[in-house]
Amino acid sequence: MSHLPPERLLHLGLDCEEQLTTDEASHLARCPSCVAELTAERRLTKSLMKIPLPEPSANFAAVTCSRFEQALAERRVHTAGLGLLLALGLGLLAAAMVIGLVLGNIVPLARGMAVTVEQIATLGHVAVTLGEKLPVLPVALVAIACAAALSLSTLLGRLALTTVEVK
């Protein structure tokens, strides 16, 4: 014979007002083991409800709010310069693309633009994700390094396309 799940018996024991389903009621009518478990859960719940709850300290709300505000302030400090540093990295990327456009020809740049836009979107997503997890300085370094690497690869790719073999 299968019994009622322990989680359900615990739930029924904690919430004495909840109605049993017809299947549960018929099972309890036939199963003394589940009835004993449910009775024990209800007895435990009633005895726990008799224990007086401790009163919070007088400054509980003030201490809790100040801790919350302090945690928010620390988070703001970690992410304060992220936008500026990300903009700097994207500016470096844009500058490298302009240099690549000047040094290279327009057609290869336009052909590689779809990949570059996808790389920029990926870089932005990575920087934002890292910004949520890490302090701002390492994120800035990662964002600038990613932008520099992407810029350098774009520039080198353009130079490679415009280099002519001399015999």
**pLDDT per position as a tens digit, 71-92:** 887 776 666 566 667 777 777 7
Residues 153 and 87 in one domain: yes
Residues 84 and 157 in one domain: yes
pLDDT for 67 equals: 92
Is 74 contained in some domain? no
Nearest-10 Cα torsion for 37, 39, 41, 42: 160
Is 66 contained in some domain? no
pLDDT band for 167, please (50, 70, 90 cuts): very low
DSSP reduced 3-state for 163: coil
Using CB atoms within 10 Å of the CB of residue 2, give its burial: 0 to 12 exposed, 13 to 18 middle, 19+ buried: exposed
Residue 22 has pLDDT above 80, yes or no: yes
Q: Count of domains in the chain?
A: 2
| CA dihedral for 137, 138, 140, 145, sign (positive or negative) | positive
Is 133 contained in some domain? yes
Residues 85 and 44 in one domain: no
pLDDT for 81 equals: 65
Give residue-wise pLDDT tens across range 85-137. Answer: 777 777 777 777 666 666 654 444 445 454 555 666 666 666 566 555 555 55
Is 62 contained in some domain? no
Residues 98 and 35 in one domain: no
Distance (Å, whole) CA 73 – CA 91: 28
Instruction: Tell which wins on pLDDT, 131 or 6.
Output: 6
Is 70 contained in some domain? no
Residues 91 and 133 in one domain: yes
Is 72 contained in some domain? no
Domain enclosing residue 35, as ranges:
6-50
Give residue-wise pLDDT tens across range 37-71. Answer: 988 988 988 898 899 988 888 899 999 999 988 88
pLDDT for 28 equals: 87
